[in-house]
């Protein structure tokens, strides 16, 4: 039996595996990069080994260093988590060659399923539903729309949708480049794009004795940039014939490949009232999925514990005490919390997490014993979110007796969440769960979220809401300043001996600037001017109660250096204090092109002195495993180029300056 497990991963999935190991009495080992030295998953483990460096290519993707760490610590097994080396057949074989137990499928199965091209051939051989791949040279406009995909990997990387044949060559080139950067394999292929399909996947678990259990299905249709945002089990609203066909196809593929361990078989599904559902096999993920907690909730099984049992050679019925797979009970929904800024095109964010709390989530990294909430997070208050890894920081799961109950429970948890220090997609998640389309399974498709993104992400950020939060911040701040004053501290806050102008405080909130005014009225602080419809029932340095249209609203306030964190009826909001006097040295030149996020410069497409037009590519920035094209915001000349390829930049750093010279002429232009 396995005695000590090294997890070749990081963040919440490492913590998740450690939790099951602790419950089983198995010792644990973490490996970590320099950037992750103080991360919560490192302290969760019984032992930890440093992998020098920060980039995945020099740390978590170095299989030789991971195996050496296992040997050095006496670990007898390696669990790969998901991402990084989890679907690397060569690494799995190397683990076995080192005399260690690989907690995953056979390397040959990983290799076969790791290629989307080969996996489709195997699904076809098993009699399953497969959409044909197309030859780029033979395609016509009748084949549109198309999708270019990376043969290795997933998560939207190396994927491009093509609606015009003229755009296909560029899409092939861009997809291959991104796939090569993300997965080390530039192979891409083309197939028909099913625009109105749902993304439905089937969870399988197979042991070495020939038993395969189908543990239900999940719907993962709500995606942004081809990355899942909301997942649920079971997939709602499927016809039973469709569900049975999906389960049968997944089971047949497992048998065809001789697969063992946990795996997910993914499909696109279009159900039509006038005919049988159109089902197309996407791929098989030969690992644990990010969304596995929803399956754990409705099945009552610990999938990590089952992975370990299968790796030890035990039969599924022996490991679970069940003669057959458990019946699905209730409904579970998971949302992914990302560190990204909705006000800036959902650009990945970095920084220190000042607060992180979701009340009611008593269970961490394990399914609740009954209906309730579960939180799997890679961060805690005080954690640093860096530029080197994926932007997902946590997963929140609600498990209820039915879909409506789970949705309400999850909405309530998101309403009470306290997250400060980095911008997140919290507002978007609330908007999704509140939308009528989400309540109707027939509306679900892989295009739905992108189509409604603007509406759903702005659900909680109206100007009126921001102003009330700013008022609470201003009143708490001036109260704190008054109480801490060394001279005349007994004078009421904002008091003026002679009637004068009210005090004004200005903040930036989600990219917008908000100014509020207040004064001392009969010895009490009160909003004035545009906010005179508000009254302050009570004011303290950490809590302000405002009365709005006869309703009392409480705002909890945490004052920081240059920032104010406020939690109110509409959730958390970070406010950055705008100083009254700006240091001229902090200003940037007009025409400056600023980095929208921290990252690494992959390539630079212009030279200093070059004329560009609006929309021209200036450079490509890579951040959190995704490539972002930075374009010229206007016509002009690159008068300054501040970065080069391979440069590391922080958010807000000047990348280039584009302006029109006063004489309208530059070198190379006719005078």
Q: Could you say which DSSP state residue 440 is in?
A: -
Q: Where in the chain is the domain with CATH 3.30.470.20?
A: 337-425+456-460
Q: Which residues pair with 265 in a beta bridge?
A: 202, 284
Contact 300, 367 (CB under 8 A): yes
pLDDT at position 240? 94
Q: Is the pLDDT of residue 11 over 70?
A: yes
Q: What percent of the chain has pLDDT over 70?
A: 93
Task: Summarize pLDDT for 534-580 with one digit per residue, the tens.
Answer: 999 999 999 999 998 899 999 999 999 999 999 999 999 999 999 87
Angle at 175 between CA 60 and CA 638, to 5 degrees: 95
- Give the model's confidence band at 588: pLDDT under 50 very low, under 70 low, under 90 confident, else very high: low
Task: Summarize pLDDT for 361-398 with one digit per residue, the tens.
Answer: 978 998 778 899 999 999 999 999 988 898 999 999 99
Q: How far is CA 240 from the centre of its chain?
A: 32
The pLDDT of 465-469, averaged and rounded, is 92
Task: Summarize pLDDT for 446-465 with one digit per residue, the tens.
Answer: 999 999 998 898 756 678 88
pLDDT at position 493? 60
- Give the model's confidence band at 499: pLDDT under 50 very low, under 70 low, under 90 confident, else very high: low
Contact 3, 26 (CB under 8 A): yes
- The residue length of the chain stands at 671
Q: Is the pLDDT of residue 583 over 70?
A: no
Q: Are β-strands 636-641 and 611-612 bridged in parallel, bridged antiparallel, or unpaired?
A: antiparallel
Q: Where in the chain is the domain with CATH 3.30.700.30?
A: 463-577
Query: What integer best gives the mean pLDDT of the chain?
Result: 90
Structure tokens at 509: 């909130």
Residues 47 and 472: their CA atoms lie apart, in Å, by: 45
Q: Is the pLDDT of residue 668 over 50?
A: no
Q: Is the pLDDT of residue 671 over 50?
A: no
620: number of Cβ within 10 Å: 21
pLDDT at position 255? 97
Q: Is the pLDDT of residue 195 over 80?
A: no
Task: Summarize pLDDT for 617-634 with one digit per residue, the tens.
Answer: 998 888 766 677 888 888
Q: Is the pLDDT of residue 490 over 60?
A: no
Contact 111, 89 (CB under 8 A): yes
pLDDT at position 669? 46
pLDDT at position 442? 92
- Give the model's confidence band at 511: pLDDT under 50 very low, under 70 low, under 90 confident, else very high: confident
Q: Where in the chain is the domain with CATH 3.30.1490.20?
A: 132-192
CA gyration radius for the chain? Answer: 27
pLDDT at position 431? 93
CATH for 132-192?
Answer: 3.30.1490.20
Question: 4-103 sits in which CATH class?
Answer: alpha beta
pLDDT at position 670? 42
Task: Summarize pLDDT for 213-253 with one digit per residue, the tens.
Answer: 999 999 999 999 889 999 999 999 999 999 999 999 999 99
The pLDDT of 253-271, averaged and rounded, is 96
CATH for 587-659?
Answer: 2.40.50.100
Q: Where in the chain is the domain with CATH 2.40.50.100?
A: 587-659
Task: Summarize pLDDT for 330-353 with one digit per residue, the tens.
Answer: 999 999 999 998 777 788 889 999
The string over 153-169, giving b where at least 16 C-beta atoms fall within 10 Å of a residue's C-beta and e elsewhere, is bbbbbbbbebeeeeebe
The pLDDT of 139-164, averaged and rounded, is 82
Terminal-to-terminal C-alpha distance of the chain? 81
Q: Which residues pair with 551 in a beta bridge?
A: 548
pLDDT at position 661? 67
The pLDDT of 261-271, averaged and rounded, is 95
Where is pLDDT greater, at 274 or 332?
Answer: 332
pLDDT at position 136? 78
Q: Which of 114-118, 245-249, 432-436 has the lowest mean pLDDT?
A: 114-118
Identify the residue whose tokens are 């683990």.
95
pLDDT at position 9? 98
Q: Are β-strands 363-364 and 372-377 bridged in parallel, bridged antiparallel, or unpaired?
A: parallel
Where is pLDDT greater, at 596 or 303?
Answer: 303
Q: Could you say which DSSP state residue 236 is in?
A: T
Q: Which of 153-167, 232-246, 425-439 has the lowest mean pLDDT?
A: 153-167
Contact 634, 576 (CB under 8 A): no
Q: What percent of the chain has pLDDT over 90?
A: 64
CATH for 463-577?
Answer: 3.30.700.30
Q: Is the pLDDT of residue 114 over 60?
A: yes
Q: In the CATH scheme, what architecture does the domain 337-425+456-460 have?
A: 2-Layer Sandwich (3.30)
pLDDT at position 156? 72
Q: Which of 54-68, 150-164, 635-649 has the lowest mean pLDDT?
A: 150-164
pLDDT at position 141? 82
């Amino acid at each position: 039996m396995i005695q000590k497990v090294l997890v070749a991963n990081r963040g919440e999935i490492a913590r998740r595996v450690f939790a099951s190991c602790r419950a089983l009495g198995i010792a644990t080992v973490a490996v970590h990069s320099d950037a992750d030295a103080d991360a919560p998953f490192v302290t969760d483990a019984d032992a930890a080994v440093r992998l020098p460096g920060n980039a995945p290519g020099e740390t978590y993707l170095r299989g030789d260093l991971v195996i050496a760490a296992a040997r050095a610590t006496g670990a007898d097994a390696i669990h790969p988590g998901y991402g990084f080396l989890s679907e690397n057949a060569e690494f799995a074989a190397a683990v076995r060659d080192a005399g260690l137990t690989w907690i995953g499928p056979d390397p040959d199965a990983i290799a076969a399923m790791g290629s989307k091209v080969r996996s489709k051939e195997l699904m076809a051989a098993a009699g399953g539903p497969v959409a044909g791949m197309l030859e780029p040279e033979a395609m016509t406009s009748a084949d549109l729309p198309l999708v270019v995909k990376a043969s290795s990997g997933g998560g939207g990387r190396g994927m491009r949708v093509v609606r015009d044949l003229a755009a296909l060559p560029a899409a092939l080139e861009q997809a291959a480049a991104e796939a090569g950067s993300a997965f080390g394999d530039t192979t891409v292929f083309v197939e028909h794009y099913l625009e109105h399909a749902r993304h439905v996947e089937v969870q399988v678990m197979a042991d070495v004795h020939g038993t395969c259990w189908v543990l239900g299905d999940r719907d993962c249709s709500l995606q942004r940039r081809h990355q899942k945002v909301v997942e649920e089990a079971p997939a709602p609203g499927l016809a039973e014939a469709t569900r049975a066909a999906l389960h049968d196809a997944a089971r047949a593929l497992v048998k065809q490949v001789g697969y063992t361990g946990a795996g997910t078989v993914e499909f696109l599904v279009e159900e039509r009232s006038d005919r049988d559902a159109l089902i197309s096999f996407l791929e098989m993920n030969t690992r644990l999925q990010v969304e596995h907690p929803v399956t754990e909730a409705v099945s009552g099984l610990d999938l990590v514990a089952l992975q370990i049992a299968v790796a030890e050679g035990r039969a599924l019925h022996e490991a679970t005490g069940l003669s057959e797979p458990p019946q699905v009970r209730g409904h579970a929904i998971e949302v992914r919390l990302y560190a990204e800024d909705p006000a800036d095109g959902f650009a990945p964010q970095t920084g220190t997490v000042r607060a992180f709390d979701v009340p009611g989530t008593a269970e961490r990294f394990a399914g609740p014993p009954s209906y309730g909430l579960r939180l799997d997070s890679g961060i805690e208050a005080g954690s640093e979110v860096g530029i080197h890894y994926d932007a997902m920081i946590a997963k929140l799961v609600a498990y209820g007796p039915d879909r409506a109950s789970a949705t309400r429970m999850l909405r309530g948890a998101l309403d009470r969440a306290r997250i400060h220090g980095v911008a997140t997609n919290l507002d978007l998640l609330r908007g999704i769960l509140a939308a009528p389309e989400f309540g109707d399974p027939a509306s679900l498709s892989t295009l739905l979220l992108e189509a409604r993104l603007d509406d759903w992400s702005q659900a909680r950020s109206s100007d009126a809401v921001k102003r009330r939060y700013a008022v609470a911040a201003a009143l708490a701040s001036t109260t704190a300043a008054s109480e801490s004053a060394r001279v005349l501290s007994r004078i009421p806050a904002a008091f003026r001996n002679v009637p004068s102008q009210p005090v004004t405080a200005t903040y930036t909130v989600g990219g917008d600037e908000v100014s509020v005014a207040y004064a001392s009225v009969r010895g009490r602080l009160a909003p004035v001017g545009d906010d005179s419809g508000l009254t302050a029932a009570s004011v303290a340095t950490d809590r302000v109660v405002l009365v709005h249209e006869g309703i009392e609203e409480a705002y909890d306030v945490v004052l920081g250096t240059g920032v104010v964190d406020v939690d109110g009826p509409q959730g958390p909001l970070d406010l950055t204090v705008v100083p009254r006097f700006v240091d001229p040295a902090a200003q940037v030149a007009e025409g400056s092109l600023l980095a929208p996020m921290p990252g690494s410069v992959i390539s630079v497409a212009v030279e200093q002195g070059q004329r560009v037009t609006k929309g021209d590519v200036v450079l490509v920035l890579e951040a959190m495993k995704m490539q972002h094209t930075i374009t010229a915001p206007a016509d002009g000349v690159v008068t300054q180029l501040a970065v080069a390829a391979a440069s590391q930049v922080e958010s807000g750093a000047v990348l280039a300056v584009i302006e029109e010279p006063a004489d309208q002429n530059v070198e190379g232009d006719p005078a």
